[in-house]
Amino acid sequence: MADLKAPENAAPWRARVYRVIFEHDTPAGKAFDVLLIAAIIVSVAVVMADSVHSVNARFGSTFYRAEWVFTILFTIEYLFRLGVVDRPSHYAFSFYGLVDLFAVLPTYLSLLIPGGQYLIVIRILRVLRVFRVLKLAQYVGEAQLLRRALYASRFKIAVFLFTVLTVVVVVGSLLYLIEGAEAGFTSIPRGVYWAIVTLTTVGYGDIAPQTPFGQALAAVVMIMGYGIIAVPTGIFSVELAVAYGERREWRSSAAQRTCAQCGRRGHDADSAFCKWCGAPLEG
């Protein structure tokens, strides 16, 4: 959300509201964030509890009212967010903007479609803000490292997934031919579903081969699935090790920067100013 800015030359109240809602470094901003996350977690818990029959029978009407209170609060918050940013459309179509919208829509939809209010649980995605709120450089840095490693492995993982999908379609069809409907393989898509359940070692057991030949083939798929878990694991481990090495290099080269004013070294990788004399750092 680096591209979401408070409007320049705006009415002072807008700038103030912006600081409270979007920023995390003032006491008011922090209090708002903590309250918001608590409200999100409570509202998700209410939806989850409400879906339990016995709980709903006792607290249904309370929960109903609570859901509407939360939804109206979040709607007001959403409108404020739209109102105080420089370019509302930018925010509306950003990841968090969409999550904020989808976090309130289901309750309104439930007026039209019964049951729709359960979709509200995607509200849980709002909790992802927690990382930004905590402002823990560690979390951000570590998440970035994981993301970089995943990004670097994307082609290899695509090759792996494509191969897995091909295997699963072929094996699922074979089992459909071998086992047939009485063992639960009523169609090829069900066979493919079974193959995925087996290859990933989930193994529900709702569909399982009955004939010796089917079981022999299933055994091959299991050993294959057991073995090829090594592939994504190996890919990710290696990419993560590479990302680690790069970060270390970057850090040590960043630490080598010399302050032009006081001549000291040993700055943190992300510091833009000398921590001893305050002069701006270069490079």
Which residues in the 130-169 window bind a copy of itself by CB under 8 A? 130-131, 136, 138-139, 141-143, 145-146, 149, 155-162, 164, 166, 169
β partners of residue 280? 273
- Enter the tokens of residue 212: 């010796």
Residue 9 region, left (φ>0) first, then alpha (ψ -120 to 50), else beta?
Answer: left
Task: State which residue, 46 or 84, has the beta carbon closest to a copy of itself.
Answer: 46
CB of 136 to a copy of itself, least distance (A): 8
Q: Does 252 engage in binding with a copy of itself (CB under 8 A)?
A: no
Encoded one letter per residue, x for contact with a copy of itself by CB under 8 A and - for no contact, window 173-212 reads x--xx--------xxxxx-xx--xxxxxxxxxxx-x---x
Measured CA to CA, the distance from residue 22 to residue 83 in angstroms comes to: 12
Task: State which residue, 20 or 46, has the beta carbon closest to a copy of itself.
Answer: 46
How crowded is residue 274: how many other Cβ atoms within 10 Å of its Cβ? 20
Q: Is 273 helix (H, G, I), strand (E, B) or coil?
A: strand
CB of 52 to a copy of itself, least distance (A): 4
Q: Does 269 engage in binding with a copy of itself (CB under 8 A)?
A: no
* 195 within 8 A of 175, measured Cβ to Cβ: yes
Please name the amino acid found at residue 178.
I
Q: Which of 31, 35, 42, 128 binds a copy of itself (CB under 8 A)?
A: 128
Task: State which residue, 82 or 127, has the beta carbon closest to a copy of itself.
Answer: 127
Measured CA to CA, the distance from residue 194 to residue 67 in angstroms comes to: 39
Q: Does 93 engage in binding with a copy of itself (CB under 8 A)?
A: no
Q: Which of 101, 236, 254, 281 binds a copy of itself (CB under 8 A)?
A: 236
Which residues in the 24-53 window bind a copy of itself by CB under 8 A? 44, 47-49, 51-53
Q: Does 60 engage in binding with a copy of itself (CB under 8 A)?
A: no
Measured CA to CA, the distance from residue 191 to residue 226 in angstroms comes to: 19
Phi, psi (rounded to 5 degrees) for 4: -95, 115
Q: Does 113 engage in binding with a copy of itself (CB under 8 A)?
A: no
* 128 within 8 A of 143, measured Cβ to Cβ: no
CB of 23 to a copy of itself, least distance (A): 22
**Which stretch, 88-96, 171-179, 260-268, 270-278, contacts a copy of itself (CB under 8 A)?**
171-179
CA dihedral 137, 138, 140, 141 (to 10 degrees): 100
How crowded is residue 80: how many other Cβ atoms within 10 Å of its Cβ? 15
Q: Which of 118, 151, 250, 273 binds a copy of itself (CB under 8 A)?
A: 118
* 35 within 8 A of 104, measured Cβ to Cβ: no
Task: State which residue, 93 or 226, has the beta carbon closest to a copy of itself.
Answer: 226
CB of 48 to a copy of itself, least distance (A): 4
